[in-house]
Amino acid sequence: MSRTRVSLMLPVVLAACARVSAADEAADGGPSKPAVQSVEPQPGPVQGDAKFTVHFSTAMDEGALIARTGQSETVVLTSEANLERAAAAIEHPSLSAHERTLLISAEPRIAADRTAITLAPDQPLPAGGVYLLVSPRLKDSSGRKLEGGVGRFAFQVPAPGRKPRLVWPVAGGDAPSNLVAVRAFAESGHLALRGPQGEGVASSDAHGDVLLGLSSALVAGARYSLALDGVEDPEQSFTASPCARGDAPALQGGAATLSVRDTAVVADLALDWPAKVQLLVGDAASGNPCDGECTAVSAYVFCNAKACGPQSFDCRLRLRATGLKPAHDYALRVVSQDDLGHESRGPVQKFSTAAPMPRLIFSELMAAPSAPKAEAQYIEILNQGPGTAVLDPLALVGSDGTVRRLFGTPPPLPVQLAPGGRALAVGSLFDAAHYPSLPPGTPLLRASTHKLFSRGLPSDASEPFRLVTAGAVPVELTSYPGHAPPCPPGASVQRDERAPPDADAAWSCGPVGGTPGAPP
């Protein structure tokens, strides 16, 4: 951080604080009084986790810097609302208990040579105006008091939640030398990209996702960082690489991995480079997607791709095209465009949607049961109709991609679930006695492993999974997104059952003990 000469750049400082010089000598020829030489960071916008250092022109009396309370009552932080009262208080020999409440609690650290003190706030600073105050009661090691009155240094802390974020290049990564734009995010404010000397190379008002077009070429080896409303965030930075990117985004395996259902298709993709990806789905009779009427779904996928050297396929994305006709033949193509102007077009992939089928959804998830054993975990499946669903061919697919059938051993007779009926997918050691309210006759679909997914569900319900029909081409029926609100111990997580299977339904906390086999 750069130091600020108080005498030249701090008009908010009421005291005449400056470097010691011959002109400061007392009229009788004695040495000059101690003074504040500089402060870090520079007064102005700061982040909520900032620390503050005051540098003095000479070694100071340690006893005057830190009070008996262990806090400093001579170099302090206060809010703008308490500024005048706090400034008046630190001019007195000691502070009352009430006056200490005017200060922002901070841990003081004195430099070994006693020429500086650093304040580290105990909590993130509140949004708004914050002042660093320096008391004139301070003395140097010779007993001379600090020059001038109370020193005041003004800072502004932005409101929480407005922290900028790099999307691509990712924070801490590198970028190709021919980069022409940076993707970033900020909820509001003025977003800028700064170069190695603090110069602005791109800027825009922010209201969410922002594409910052660069005004000049990157300098190899230089670091670039985001700034929001003039406050630079060193953590949101990347380094310019000497390598240029000249290849179009590549698709792992040359094609997407598809899973279909009666009215939708899901494409799982892995690219070697961040790009905007389009999924084009049209009638197979046309021979080429979007030659006629088609469905187009798009999203931007990013990852920490290296600018130099071989690439790995770490940019993973799942795209879902809905509104398709049941039992119909379709053609699909994946088109990828990066921010450097390169485009790749995948091959035409043909598929057929399934015949109309009952709507099955995950309706409830018990990931953290009150019972001490994970064998009490369950996943509830609801048939929304129309028609009866046959459960024998169904399987769960976890984040590891392994297809696990709901039944560890094939049932002697087909297991059917009527419209409105509920079944529980459980581990082989599941004990129904944990749930006395479980309706009699509720189908229990026991897996081949002791616990669901062999290792059990994470207690915070943070892992996504899907329900599919097992086969050469899996048909995805529904999915759990892998995120849920924090719930009390023993409570289940329940889906909004009014939302259709293909929708991004809301999940909320259910009652402690859950409602297995029954409506919420």
Segment 17-42 mean pLDDT: 62
Q: Share the mean pLDDT of the chain.
A: 87
To which residue do tokens 């006709």 refer? 325
Amino acid 18: pLDDT: 35
Per-residue pLDDT reduced to its tens digit, 273-308: 999 999 999 988 877 787 777 889 999 998 989 888
pLDDT at 17 exceeding the cut of 80: no
> In this structure, which topology does domain 165-240 adopt according to CATH?
Immunoglobulin-like (2.60.40)
> At residue 370, what is the residue type?
S
pLDDT-based confidence at residue 15 (cuts at 50, 70, 90): very low
Phi, psi of 166 (to 5 degrees): -75, 135
Amino acid 327: pLDDT = 87
Specify the pairing of strand 174-175 against strand 231-240.
Answer: parallel
pLDDT at position 109 is 93
Cis omega (within 30 of 0) for bond into 520: no
Contact 232, 192 (CB under 8 A): no
CATH of domain 4-157: 2.60.40.1220
pLDDT digits (tens, 9 = 90+) for 224-251: 999 998 888 989 999 999 999 999 999 9
Give the Cβ contact number of residue 28 at 10 Å.
5
Instruction: With cut-offs at 50, 70 and 90, classify the pLDDT of residue 27.
Output: very low
Q: Where are the beta strands (DSSP E) in 418-517?
A: 422-426, 444-446, 465-469, 475-480, 491-495, 507-512
Fold of 252-352: Immunoglobulin-like (2.60.40)
Work out whether strand 403-405 and strand 394-397 pair parallel, antiparallel, or are unpaired: antiparallel
Work out the average pLDDT over 409-429.
Answer: 89
> How confident is residue 13, by pLDDT bands cut at 50, 70 and 90?
very low
The pLDDT tens digits for 450-487 are 999 988 899 889 899 999 887 666 678 888 988 888 88
165-240 shares the fold of 4-157? yes
Q: What is the per-residue pLDDT for 495?
A: 95
What's the confidence (pLDDT) of residue 472? 64
* Per-residue model confidence (pLDDT) at position 374: 65
Q: What is the predicted pLDDT for the residue at 355?
A: 78
pLDDT of res. 261: 78
**Residue 30, phi then psi, degrees to nearest 5:** -75, 170
Point out the least confidently predicted range of 119-128, 192-201, 384-393. Answer: 384-393
Structure tokens at 75: 């170099």
pLDDT at position 473: 64
**How confident is residue 24, by pLDDT bands cut at 50, 70 and 90?**
very low
Q: Considering only residues 162 and 138, tell me which one the structure prediction assigns the higher pLDDT.
A: 138
pLDDT tens-place string over residues 66-108: 988 889 999 999 999 999 999 999 998 889 989 999 999 999 9
What's the pLDDT at 438? Answer: 94
Q: What is the pLDDT of residues 347-402, one digit of tens each?
A: 999 998 877 778 899 999 999 998 766 689 999 999 998 888 889 889 999 888 88
From the number of C-beta atoms within 10 Å of its C-beta (0-12, 13-18, 19+), residue 127 rates as middle
Whole-angstrom distance, CA of residue 23 vs CA of residue 517: 87
Q: What is the DSSP string of 44-71?
A: EE--TT--EEEEESS-B-HHHHS-TTSS
Q: What is the pLDDT of residue 22?
A: 36
Query: Domain map of the chain by residue range?
Result: 4-157, 165-240, 252-352, 360-512
**Phi, psi torsion values for 8, nearest 5 degrees:** -110, -35
